[in-house]
Chains A and B, each alone.
Chain A
């Protein structure tokens, strides 16, 4: 394992220190428990949109804290959800009369810890709701599993609900909007290499030189299927097929296409893949109205990518375009 670290136990704390000094105009970092909070929090009269989860997915979530997006992010240890008291600290630091919405990715640990935190906060009289995002089409939804995972759609959900909160929507409205987005966003991911978790020191799964993992999550857990490596045209076609047929997205739909690097895939390959995806969607009559391309929800240094489609309407497009000022997303300000 070669990484730019001192000690696996202090990776997250040292990284947060860097985030804090690099973006002191936008956010602040509080210690013990560690939370990332927008610099002007709590913002009076505005719903606090809060998210969090294991570290190792940067810029998710700390990189999305700021005006027009998250009020706070709660980072856990690498690939481990944060504890309830950390989530509660973020709620207390950012929540006023307008209440708070917790955005939770559908992983057992995240759901358990955020649910507990929401109960603790409610017991103190704070109006806290939570939504669980589960956009990964790789996982079959069934009563016998923990359900679908929350992956790339999380980034879009945080942007759109953050914008609604910024314009002053009520907690009821922001929660309803979140449920609408969750209902019409879908993702699929693929890995070319495995990530190495600092405290484990070895790659999280085995992949041959000529193999890829199709249907991966964001935690270095293996995917649903190991397949031979494919040329980009075939790989992206398979990914587009998986996403489009799930909702399904149909001819005439307006969408946001999010092409995401899992951390190790360079932009040259990502743009290549994005171009293919746009062409394939155009062939199906699906109209790409907005796009996001880059590393936004990653899995340490893992090579690979994910594709996310969000069905747009006028309201979602307006909220997507609304000004945002965070370390990782910034426009209109």
Chain B
């Protein structure tokens, strides 16, 4: 099954609900190692995406994703705004003017999102950031490939969850948690957690 502008919009609404549900969890994860704003910022951004989708009807998948990108960049702030905004923006560029997103195009868009996040945030695997969820997610999506969107996203979400868990044992080297050094070990990175939550929401929406 390929996805259209409508199904993508529905997936973003589902993601907004998941983020709202996990707002407090993300705040608490961030409170332990950062400045306690990640859940609030993500919730503000995705609430704004839902509002934007209520007032505009983007006609292509790329336009839907671009609307999400510009909304995140202009409403979130912090590191999450530019990083997630860039991820969505790069994905939208990759989607081009396609009327529907098939499996191979989805995988390419996920790869573009990862590359965008790494270009903007300069983080590599093992830095204890959202990249530790995204790298395995994109690899898993590439291995899954094929035309089954739900299967690709489910593989990505599974890998992202494992990748997020791996941040518990890492010493953060980027972002505010990096100032704690060794003291930040033993904590799940909030950005990796939100990445896993988003991919799971998209996978569930695709089923």
Chain A interface (Cβ < 8 Å from any Cβ of B): 33, 54, 76-86, 107-109, 112-113, 116, 138-140, 144-146, 149, 197, 199-200, 202, 204-205, 217, 219-222, 224
Contacts and interface: CB of A to CB of B under 8 A. Distances in A.
Contacts of A139: 179
Interface string B116-136: 000011000000000000000
A145 B179 contact: yes
A76 B175 contact: no
B35 A204 contact: yes
B31 A112 contact: no
B77 A81 contact: yes
Contacts of B33: 221-222
Given A84-B82, A85-B73, A220-B36, 19 more contacts: A76-B77, A77-B41, A79-B36, A80-B35, A81-B77, A81-B79, A83-B81, A109-B82, A112-B79, A112-B82, A113-B82, A116-B73, A149-B179, A197-B31, A197-B35, A200-B28, A204-B31, A204-B35, A222-B183
B106 to A, nearest CB: 27
Contact of A109 (B31, B36, B79, B180): B79
B174 A108 contact: yes
B78 A80 contact: yes
Given A109-B79, A217-B179, A84 B36 contact: no
Contact of A84 (B31, B35, B74): B74
B37 A84 contact: no
Contact of B37 (A77, A205, A222): A77
Nearest to A76: B77
Interface secondary structure of B, over-half rule: helix
Contacts of A221: 33-35, 176-177, 179-180
A212 to B, nearest CB: 15
Contact of B77 (A83, A149, A217, A224): A83
B31 A200 contact: yes
Interface string B38-49: 001100100000
Contact of B82 (A54, A86, A116, A146): A116
Given A108-B121, A116-B73, A79 B178 contact: no
Given A219-B35, A224-B179, A224-B181, A109 B77 contact: yes
Highest count of chain A CB atoms <10 Å: which of B28, B36, B76: B36
Contacts of A107: 176
8 contacts: A54-B37, A54-B77, A79-B35, A80-B41, A145-B178, A200-B37, A200-B40, A219-B35
Interface centre among B35, B41, B74, B173 (most CB of A within 10 A): B35
Contacts of A222: 33, 180, 183
Contacts of A145: 173-174, 178-179, 181
Contacts of B36: 79, 197, 199-200, 204, 220
Contact of B120 (A81, A82, A112, A199): A112
B27 interface: yes
A102 B36 CA distance: 26
A224 B180 CA distance: 6
Contacts of A83: 73-77, 81
B82 A79 contact: no
A200 B178 contact: no
A84 to B, nearest CB: 6
A112 B180 contact: no
Which of A78, A140, A146 is most buried by chain B, counting CB atoms within 10 A of its CB? A146
B83 interface: yes
Indicate the member of A82, A84, A145, A224 with the most B CB atoms within 10 Å.
Answer: A145
Interface string B144-172: 00000000000000000000000000000
- For B28, B82, B121, B178, which residue has the most chain A Cβ atoms within 10 angstroms? B82
Closest 3 CB pairs of A and B: A109-B78, A219-B35, A109-B79
Nearest to B27: A200
Contacts of B80: 109
A295 B82 CA distance: 31
